[in-house]
Amino acid sequence: MPKMKTKASCKKRFSFTASGKVKAGQAGKRHGMIKRSNKFIRNQRGTTILTDADAGIIKGFMPNR
């Protein structure tokens, strides 16, 4: 049986915390900043922890994490 490969796109975009949660960059900051409020831009800094439903999908793509 062949080994499962990790999705290269997921490897680049997501990482894991020590407790096994999935960490990702904030969405919505690539373009169109002129129409976004300063509060929105401020709150989108850094990274975020994905919800359990989304994390389950990502963990399926990364079997060898």
Look at residue 1 and tell me if it is in a domain: no
Look at residue 41 and tell me if it is in a domain: yes
pLDDT in tens, 7-39: 999 999 999 999 999 999 999 999 999 999 999
Please give the C-alpha separations between residue 51 and each of 15, 35, 39, 60, in angstroms, as whole numbers.
14, 27, 22, 14
Look at residue 18 and tell me if it is in a domain: yes
pLDDT in tens, 39-65: 999 999 999 999 999 999 999 999 988
- Domain limits for position 20: 8-61
Per-residue pLDDT, 54: 97
- The CATH code of the domain that includes 19 is 4.10.410.60
CA distance 15 to 32: 26
Per-residue pLDDT, 61: 95
CA distance 42 to 46: 9
Report pTM.
Answer: 0.83
- Say if residues 50 and 1 touch (Cβ distance below 8 Å): no
